[in-house]
Chain A
Amino acid sequence: MPIIETKDLTHVYLAGTSYEKKALDKVSLSINQGEFVGIIGGNGSGKSTLIQHFNGLLVPTSGSVRVDGKDTTVKQYRKNLWKKVGIVFQFPEQQIFKSTVFEEVAYGLKNMGMHLPEIKNRVEEILVQIGLNPGEVAHRSPLSLSGGTRRQVAIASIMAMRPAVLVLDEPTAGLDSSGSNHIMQAIQEMQRNYHTTVVMISHYVSQLMLLADKLVFLEQGRLLACGNQEEVFQYITSHNLGGLILPDYLRLMHHLADYGYQVNTGVSSLEEAAREIGRILKESFLCKV
Chain B
Amino acid sequence: MKCSPCPGYINEVNRVNEKIELLNVTKTYQHAGSLVYALNNINLTIPQGQFVGIVGMNGSGKTTLARLLNGLILPSSGKVLVNGMDTTDPRYHKDIRRLVGMVFQNPDNQIINPIVEEEVAFGVQNLHFSAAEVSRRVTWALQAVGLSDLRHHAPHLLSGGQKQRLAVAAALAMCPAYLVLDEPTSMLDQSGRSELILCLEELRREHGITIIMISHVMEEVARADRLIVLYQGNIHLDGSPWEVFSSPEFEHIGMTPPPIARLTNVLIEQEHQIDKRIVTFEQMVEFLCP
Interface residues in chain A, defined as those with a beta carbon under 8 Å from any beta carbon in chain B: 13-14, 19, 21, 41-44, 48, 90-91, 94, 140, 144, 146-149, 170, 173-179, 203, 206, 243-245, 247-249, 251-252, 255-256, 259, 261, 270-271, 273-274, 277-278, 280-282, 285
Query: A243 CA to B58 CA in the complex, in Å?
Result: 29
Contact present for A178 and B267 (CB under 8 Å): no
Contact present for A277 and B190 (CB under 8 Å): no
Partner of A203, one of B31, B56, B189, B270: B189
Which of B85-93, B167-175, B254-262 lines the interface with chain A? B254-262
Assuming the contacts A43-B162, A43-B192, asked whether A251 and B263 have C-beta atoms less than 8 A apart, the reply is no
Residues of chain A within 8 A of B105, CB atoms compared: 147, 174
Query: A42 CA to B154 CA in the complex, in Å?
Result: 20
Contact present for A252 and B281 (CB under 8 Å): yes
CB of B270, distance to nearest CB on chain A (Å): 6
Contacting residues of chain B (240-288) with chain A, CB-CB under 8 angstroms: 254-256, 258-260, 262-263, 266-267, 270, 272-274, 281, 284-285, 288
CB of B266, distance to nearest CB on chain A (Å): 4
Contact present for A147 and B259 (CB under 8 Å): no
Assuming the contacts A44-B162, A274-B266, asked whether A243 and B190 have C-beta atoms less than 8 A apart, the reply is yes
Query: A282 CA to B288 CA in the complex, in Å?
Result: 12
Contact present for B281 and A13 (CB under 8 Å): no
Query: A274 CA to B259 CA in the complex, in Å?
Result: 11
Q: Write 15 A-B pairs (CB below 8 A) sorted by A numbering.
A: A42-B191, A43-B160, A43-B189, A44-B161, A140-B32, A144-B32, A174-B186, A244-B191, A245-B189, A256-B288, A274-B263, A277-B263, A277-B288, A278-B270, A285-B273
Q: How many residues of B contact A (CB 8 A)?
A: 45
Contact present for B272 and A282 (CB under 8 Å): yes
Assuming the contacts A203-B188, A249-B259, A259-B289, asked whether A174 and B216 have C-beta atoms less than 8 A apart, the reply is yes
Residues of chain A within 8 A of B281, CB atoms compared: 248, 251-252
CB of A274, distance to nearest CB on chain B (Å): 4
Contact present for B285 and A252 (CB under 8 Å): yes
Query: A249 CA to B57 CA in the complex, in Å?
Result: 25
Query: A252 CA to B189 CA in the complex, in Å?
Result: 18
Contact present for B188 and A176 (CB under 8 Å): no
Contact present for B216 and A43 (CB under 8 Å): no
Query: A216 CA to B262 CA in the complex, in Å?
Result: 29
